[in-house]
Amino acid sequence: MMSVFLLISMAALGDIFGGVSPGTETQVQDYTIFEPVDRNEYALGAGDILQLVVEGGTSEAMIMSGLPSLSACQVSGDGIIQVSGIGQLNVMGMTINNAQEALQRLLVMYYPGTHIGLSLQQPRTVKVWITGMVANPGSYSLYAINRVSDLVGLAGGMSSYCSRFGWMVKADGDSVSIDLHFDPRTGKPVSDPFVDGGAGVVFGLVISPVYVLRPGIRNYNDSYTVPEVETWESYSDETVEDLLYRIGGITGDVDLSRSTLISGGHSSPVWIQDQGFSTEVVHAGDTLRLVVQGNDIYVAGAVHQRGIIAYTPGAAVRVYVEQAGGQVYNAHLGGTTLTRDGVCIASGEDALETQALPGDVIEVPYNWIARHSPEIGILATVVSITSIIINLSR
C-alpha cells in the first residue's frame, strides 16, 4: 500500500509542476537560455524571483521533506531564499551561478547524487536617480537587469553638451565609473553597469568636445527634422576612422564620400575613393559632418500622388513617376528633372532613364499651357472684351 501511495503522490506532483515525473531528466539549460542577463555578472538582490529545478525526478525522501522538482522562490529583504526540504540560503550579492553552486552544496548534504538548477525568473525593480546633462533629470523605476544606458533613454537622452563619462553612487556609498563611448572591438559601451537600487547617476559637461553633425533626413510626413548635433569627448591623436567607431560605428545611411571633417576653418573629406579613410587627426573643437541620406525619393510636380516614395535600388526615374500615379493630363514628361543635393544632374529623357538615389528629388513640370494658364485667361478675356467693343461700335 505504501508503494502505491508513493506512485500516486509522485504522479500528482508531476502534474502540478509542469509534468515533471519520476525518471524524467530535466535539463537546466531549458530554463536558463531565456535569461536576460549574464549568469556570471548579475548580482542577486531582494525582490528577485528565482526558479529551481531538481534534476532526475523526485525521490521518496524529497516527497517526504516537501522538496518539489520545480519551484519558485523570492529573495527576501535580507537576501535569503527559503527552499522547502533544504532550508535557507543567503544569496545577497551572489551571481546566479555562484548561488546555484552554493545551493548544490547544500542539496547534496541531504540528497546525495542529486543536482539542482537555478535561474532568474523575474528580476527585481529598483528606483534610481539621474542628474546632470540629461533631458529630464529625476527618479525612475527600472528592472535590475537594466543598465545605465537604459536609464539615460528613460530620462530623454543626453543633451548636446553631455559627457559620455559619468559615475553611479550606490546606496552604500560605493562609486562605479560609467563610460558610454563604444568599444570598437565589441560595438558595446565601454562601461555600462546595471542600475542599482537607491543609486544616483550623474553625467557632467563634456570637457574637450568634438561635434558630430548629422543633418536631419526627410521623413514620411513631408517635413524636415532639425539637424542633430552630438558632442563627444576628444581623444589624443585619434583619427577620423577611430572617432567614427568610438561614436557607434558607421550606419548604412551615411554617405562617407560626401561627409567632411571641419577643423580650423578647413574642410576635408572623411573618405576618398580608392584611398579609404582620411588619416587626419581630430582635435577638440573640430566638427565631423556626416551626410545622412533617407531611404526615400521625393516626387513632385505634375503627378497624381506627389510625395515620398520608398527607394528601390537600381530603379530609374521613370519607375518612380509611375509609382506616383503617373503624370497628369497636362504634364510635360519630357521636361522632367532629377535633383541631387540641390543640383540638377539630369533633365528630359536623360532624367527619365537615370537611376535615382536616396534623397533625390524628381520633378515633373506642367506643360506650357498649364504653366501660363493665368496669362492665357487674361488674354482670352481681353480678346473677348475687344470683340464685344468692336461689335457694339458697328
Task: Give 319-367 pLDDT, tens digit per residue.
Answer: 999 999 999 988 899 999 999 877 899 999 899 999 998 878 999 999 8
What was the pLDDT predicted at 273? 80
Residue 381: alpha-carbon gap to chain centroid: 62
Domains and CATH numbers, the chain: 2-122 (3.30.1950.10), 125-205 (3.10.560.10), 209-292 (3.10.560), 307-370 (3.10.560.10)
Grid cell listed for 166: 559619468
What was the pLDDT predicted at 155? 93
CB of 109 within 8 A of CB of 95?
no
202 forms beta bridges with 131, 167
Continuous segment of H or E residues that includes residue 231: strand 228-233
Task: Compare 26 and 301 and report the one with higher pLDDT.
Answer: 301
User: Mean pLDDT over all residues of the chain?
Assistant: 81
Half-sphere exposure of 155 (CA within 13 A, CB side): 26
Q: Residue 113's pLDDT band (boundaries 50, 70, 90)?
A: confident
In 3D space, the residue among 59, 56, 53, 61 whose CA is nearest the CA of residue 17 turns out to be 53
State the CB neighbour count (10 A cutoff) for residue 85: 17
Grid cell listed for 211: 561635434
In 3D space, the residue among 261, 268, 142, 145 whose CA is nearest the CA of residue 210 turns out to be 261
Q: SS3 of 8, please?
A: helix
Q: Which residues contact 154 (CB under 8 A, 6 or more apart)?
A: 140, 142
CA distance 111 to 84: 13
* Residue 359 dihedral angles phi and psi, to the nearest 5°: 90, -10
State the CB neighbour count (10 A cutoff) for residue 150: 17
What was the pLDDT predicted at 10? 38
**Quick check: 258 pLDDT over 90?**
no
In 3D space, the residue among 281, 288, 230, 291 whose CA is nearest the CA of residue 261 turns out to be 288
Q: Which of 52-56, 66-70, 386-390 has the lowest mean pLDDT?
A: 386-390
Task: Compare 201 and 294 and report the one with higher pLDDT.
Answer: 201
Q: Checking phi first, is residue 191 left (phi over 0); if not, alpha (psi -120 to 50) or beta? A: beta
In 3D space, the residue among 162, 44, 56 whose CA is nearest the CA of residue 107 turns out to be 56
What was the pLDDT predicted at 294? 63
Q: SS3 of 302, please?
A: coil
CA distance 341 to 344: 8
CB of 257 within 8 A of CB of 271?
yes
What was the pLDDT predicted at 159? 87
In 3D space, the residue among 140, 137, 187 whose CA is nearest the CA of residue 166 turns out to be 137
CB of 282 within 8 A of CB of 288?
yes
For the chain, what is the total number of helices (H) and then of strands (E)?
10, 25
What was the pLDDT predicted at 184? 84
pTM for the model stands at 0.60
**Quick check: 13 pLDDT over 50?**
no
CA distance 311 to 217: 14
234 forms beta bridges with none
Q: CB burial class (10 A; 0-12, 13-18, 19+) of residue 367?
A: middle
Q: How many residues does the chain have?
A: 394
**Quick check: 228 pLDDT over 80?**
no
116 forms beta bridges with 54
What was the pLDDT predicted at 380? 65
Q: Residue 379's pLDDT band (boundaries 50, 70, 90)?
A: low
